Structures are given as structure tokens and as C-alpha cells.
Chains A and B, each alone.
Chain A
């Protein structure tokens, strides 16, 4: 019993899966049966289904060379200090998903070193193209508990790694094989606790340290890592390791994790064969933003800071942008009128992705399979190098059926899961960041200036100056009404009065000539923070030339950057423009807004009345001195 690591980016096994597998087992090796085998592999298979499929594939596709398979066959030797037989089917199926025929063999129990050094032997007969070192954690950490000092422990790691490098070199020199090394999983108990690393005799600490060192030497030796420690951190140790089966059968990786293990290894082999995808094709409505732009308009779609849903879509865009910087080409494939589709990119200030990031923009009413073919043609990329991201199960199903060579990740209903579906799928797996990857970005880039400026700031002021902050502001109008009202009603901490105004009230205040309703956005060199502040000030009904700050709230994301000083300067200028000479500020205490109880004091207001729940302050505008924070302020006129 365990929560097995699911291949959640693949669709679930259909009802007729077992029937199809049986049918496959009765067919001969042919291009059609190979395609069918790949189709069966591309589901979220548990270990039983994985074992069954690998068994059938082994019986149907017996020949070493299969004329209908364009990829290079892989002969993978798994060298291990413990049991690995249960992992081999997952390797076969993981490779099959990527169109690779893989056969795997393992050493007799424990004899991995002998396998490499003996003359002849099974390895020589097998002629591996790749060798995976799957040494278990206890084996790599042997001797750790005898260490007396940290120097002992470092020396032990040194010796273990020297031995490992000799084995890597042997595998490479003897067979011209690619070498893969699995990182040890953190399955050993702690003796001290969180500060385990201070105990020189801790095997758990030694393994953690080894996982750092192994990365350094793997880079030097051109060895690819299978980062099980990282995957375990995501799935949880209990998903990967079952102590009862370690004791019973010396299976360090539990059987339920075998399909994921196989997929992790196979994607590295595929990447080494140049079979990773190169282009991410994005749907728009409900994939890059919430809602339908044709209905909601470019500013009405759910996107941006201020709502969890809007931020979920922001994170999808940010992930796509980061993939692009790493060398993945971006394209758009949307059922929309092109002008309407592009209007969001042009008019919605919350868009992370810009038109210039999109190397091929296709928005029309043609079916998406046809459009994907067109995108591949225009970009001069193989259609099997496309990944298609679409929230709509109909479109996903259509493309999977029409273009089985296009990877279409299965997406959960909620957009916050889209990034994990893409990231966990490994469709863009890369073992190195090559010149070619970066050149691809250059080749497809439009005219976008580089944002990669190294941080050199050390002091806070210098840091703030380096942030290149730009505060834009304007008067609330119909375009900004919905978002500002939303912020007014959800901000709790940096909120001086916590007065909740509905949309109608804000609209009325916005058109009232005796009121000032201001919104503020902040951007810096790292990106756009979106709407970050709202200020409403009203002319006092009783005192001449006096304005009262009815509402002042700010997003906590931008604290500690002197933004409040810049906001006050904007407010003072606006009040002056309306003939005001005095500003009254009120702090009304709530359970959550203590952080701003002295804001007015810090900004130079004098306290005129203090009660337990309320502090009233006053600022004469003739005495107001500007703060000159390192922020460029720009007004946006409706």
C-alpha cells in the first residue's frame, strides 16, 4: 500500500486496454503493431500494467533491428548492489513511450563490480549502449557510522566517489556506453535531527553530502544523473521506498514506483538521442488566462495578481516564458479571431507572455490538428517535437488521435495544476544546456532586450536603485474598477481603514469631483507586480481645504521598497491640484493591520488624536518635504 508516484500527465488506462494488449500479443512485429504498443504505453500505467506491456513487447518485437523504428535501439545494463529485476519493465515501457526499443539486463545479485571487470561475461555479450549505476543508499553509505570526525566522513566520500568514477570510466571505455548514475535516496534514519550534518557518524548526513558532491563530479565526467533524491522530495519517501519489501526482497525502489523510475531514465536516453520536444504550443482561453476573451474582453479575462485564479494563469505564462529562455520555442494555437486573440497580448497589462515571445501565432477556426501541422511547417520543426497544451479534453483527444506523435499532456481541471503536468512529464528533458538551445532562442526571438542583468547590489538603497522600479498610477475608471474593487475587498494587512467598498460605491466616488480615487501598479526589472495599491481621498464636508484619506491599501508583495513614500507624493500632488492644503489620515485598528499603525507617523504626519482603536493624524501640505525614493513615477491618463 502506497501512494504510487502517478504519471499524472498521461491519460488514465482506458477500459479496453487489456483487450488491446491481448490483441497486440497475438500480432507480429510491424509498423502498425509498434504504433499500437506506443499508444498502449502512453497512459498512466501502474506496475501491473507496465509489467504486462513490457512482457508482450518483449515477445512481439524480438529482433534487434526493427526496420520501422527510426530511433536507435537501446541496450541498457543496470548495475546494482541490490534487486532491480522489478525495475526493468518500467524502463522498457518508458522508452517505448518515446518510440525507443529498449532491452535491459542486470547483474547477478550484488556482482556489479565483477560484471564490469571480468573478462567476457554477460556484459560483453550484451554490448550495452547505456549503463545505469543503480547503487542503493546503504551500499554507498557503507562505513559511514564508523567515522569519528567530519574529515573522516569527507575522506570516506572521496574514496567512494573515486571508486565510482573508476567504474564510470570502465563502462565508457569498454563499451563506448553512455553512463547514467542514480542519486541515492534519503531513506536512512537520522540520529540527531534537523542538524544531522553535525554528526560525523551519520549515514543520513553522509548521503545528503554525497548527493551534492556526486553532481559536481558527474558534470566533470559527462555522466547523466537520474535524480531520485529530487523525485523523492516531490513524491514523498513512502511513495518510493517500502521498508518491508527492502527487508523481504532487497528492493530499494518499491515496485509501485517502478513505472516512474523507468520514465525518468527513459527520458534521459531520449534526450541523448535528440528526441525531447522543442516547441510548446499553447491554447489561449482557459489555458493562458481564465475565461473566453471573445466574451470577457481583453481586460475581463482572469489573469494577474489579486485573485488565486488569475495568479494560477500567471504561473502558467511564467513557466512558458522560462522554458522559452531555456530554448523551448513557443507557439499559439487557438480557436479565436486572430485580432481578438492578440488583443489580450496587446492590451492586458498583466500578460507575462508578449507577442514577441510567440514564434508562431495561429488563431482561427480550423481544427487544431491541421493548425499544428501548419505550425510545425512554418517553424521548420518535426511535428513530433511539438507539445500541445490545451485545457479542453475535446481538443486533446482530437490531437492525440490525429497526431499521436505530438505529446499532449493530460491536464487537471484546475489551472494551478498545469505547470506540474508539464514539468513532471519530462517532455522537454535536457541533459545539458547547449549553444544550440540558446541559439534557438536567438533565432526565434523578435526584438526583445535582454533582462538578464546581474545583481550587484549590496546595500538596501543600492538594491532598491538597481530594481529599476516604475510606479504607474491613474484615476480609477471603468477599465480599472473591477480590479481595484477586488483589491479593496481582499486586502487586510496593509490597509489603514479596512473600509470595504462595493463596485457601485467606488464608481460613484470615482466620478465625484470632491474625491480622488487612485490606483497604482509597480514593475521592476524582475517583472510586473500588477495592481499593488489603491488610495481614495475625499474632501472634508466640514473643513475647507482639507482632504481625508478614506482608504489606503497596498499589496504586501511590495513592502520595504519605499513605495508608500512614492504613493504619498502622488497623493499630495493630486490633493494640491484639487486645492487642498491639509491631509487627514486615519488608522483604524483591526485584527490584521497592525503593521501600518505608525505609517502616518513614519511619513511625517503629526498625531492629533489617539484612541485604542483609532489614530488620527494630520499633514500640512505646505510643510511636506518630498522623500525622493528611487522609483520612477508615471501617470497613465485614461
Chain B
């Protein structure tokens, strides 16, 4: 299991790259509603950057089931590699 904190730190960097902002508060509850410009394309960018960072691949069912950042964090914690 990768510690949640490690994943949050990595997501903070990914969000800073994707949105060119470093003031987005990363939490498991964060979702597209909370961040201006978080559309379906940014969504895929975030997922793929996370996949690369933690060498993990989301299944089609997991892609369908993502509701917030926590869903992504849990998958990475279970199957990701540092």
C-alpha cells in the first residue's frame, strides 16, 4: 500500500502542472465541481499523469466509477508502484 500522503503530494504536483496553479487544496473529496477548468479533458490528463507516475492502469469500469479524487487515490494506494 502506498501511503495516502505520498499520493496526495504527487497529485499536488500533477494539479500544479495541469492547471498551472499551486493553490489547489488536494483532498479525497475534491472533484471536478471544485476546480475551475476541470473538464473531461483535464480529467483524462489527471488520470493519465497519475497512471504514469505510479505505474498503474485503470480499468474501464474504474474509469466509469470515478466520483472524486479519493476514488483515484484508493486505486493507486492498492495497485500503484513508487
Q: Which residues of chain B are near A47, meaning CB under 8 Å?
A: 45, 48-49
A18-B17, A49-B17 are known contacts. Are A1 and B52 too (CB-CB below 8 A)? Answer: yes
A1-B52, A47-B48, A85-B41 are known contacts. Are A244 and B63 too (CB-CB below 8 A)? Answer: yes
Partner of A255, one of B14, B44, B55, B60: B44
Q: Which residues of chain B are near A12, meaning CB under 8 Å?
A: none
- CB-based contact B17/A4 at 8 Å: no
Bound CA–CA A51/B41 (angstroms): 11
Which chain A residue has the least Cβ–Cβ distance from B40? A249
Write the nearest CB–CB distance from B25 to chain A, whole angstroms.
20
Partner of A51, one of B16, B45, B56, B59: B45
Write the nearest CB–CB distance from A146 to chain B, whole angstroms.
27
B51 at the interface (CB under 8 A from A): yes
- CB-based contact B63/A255 at 8 Å: no
A25 at the interface (CB under 8 A from B): yes
Partner of B17, one of A48, A86, A248, A251: A48
B1 at the interface (CB under 8 A from A): no
Q: Which residues of chain A are near B82, meaning CB under 8 Å?
A: none
A52 at the interface (CB under 8 A from B): yes
Which chain A residue has the least Cβ–Cβ distance from B42? A51
Write the nearest CB–CB distance from A57 to chain B, whole angstroms.
13
B18 at the interface (CB under 8 A from A): yes
- CB-based contact B52/A4 at 8 Å: yes
Bound CA–CA A21/B17 (angstroms): 11
A233 at the interface (CB under 8 A from B): no
B69 at the interface (CB under 8 A from A): no
Q: Which residues of chain A are near B17, meaning CB under 8 Å?
A: 18, 48-49, 52
Partner of A55, one of B16, B20, B49, B56: B20
Bound CA–CA A251/B17 (angstroms): 21
- CB-based contact B48/A255 at 8 Å: yes
- CB-based contact A244/B45 at 8 Å: no
A356 at the interface (CB under 8 A from B): no
- CB-based contact B41/A52 at 8 Å: no
* Contacts between the two chains (Cβ within 8 Å), count: 58
B57 at the interface (CB under 8 A from A): yes
Q: Which residues of chain A are near B45, meaning CB under 8 Å?
A: 47-48, 51, 86, 255
B9 at the interface (CB under 8 A from A): no
Which chain A residue has the least Cβ–Cβ distance from B14? A48
Bound CA–CA A25/B49 (angstroms): 23
Interface residues of A in 247-282 (CB under 8 A from B): 247-249, 251, 254-256
Write the nearest CB–CB distance from A190 to chain B, whole angstroms.
22
Bound CA–CA A153/B19 (angstroms): 47
Contact indicator per residue, chain B 43-74, by CB within 8 Å of chain A (1) or not (0): 01100110110011111100110000000000
- CB-based contact B44/A249 at 8 Å: yes
Write the nearest CB–CB distance from A63 to chain B, whole angstroms.
22
A1-B52, A48-B49, A255-B48 are known contacts. Are A86 and B57 too (CB-CB below 8 A)? Answer: no
Contact indicator per residue, chain A 285-323, by CB within 8 Å of chain B (1) or not (0): 000000000000000000000000000000000000000
What are 28 inter-chain pairs, A to B, with CB distance below 8 A?
A: A1-B52, A1-B56, A1-B57, A4-B52, A46-B49, A46-B52, A47-B45, A47-B49, A48-B17, A48-B18, A48-B49, A51-B18, A51-B45, A52-B17, A52-B18, A56-B20, A85-B41, A86-B41, A86-B44, A244-B59, A245-B44, A248-B44, A248-B60, A248-B64, A254-B48, A255-B45, A255-B48, A256-B48
11 more contacts with CB within 8 A, not counting A244-B58, A247-B63, A251-B44, are A2-B51, A25-B20, A48-B14, A48-B17, A48-B45, A52-B18, A245-B48, A248-B63, A248-B64, A255-B45, A255-B48
Interface residue ranges, A against B (CB under 8 Å)? 1-2, 4, 18, 21-22, 25, 46-49, 51-52, 55-56, 85-86, 244-245, 247-249, 251, 254-256
Interface residue ranges, B against A (CB under 8 Å)? 14, 16-18, 20, 40-41, 44-45, 48-49, 51-52, 55-60, 63-64
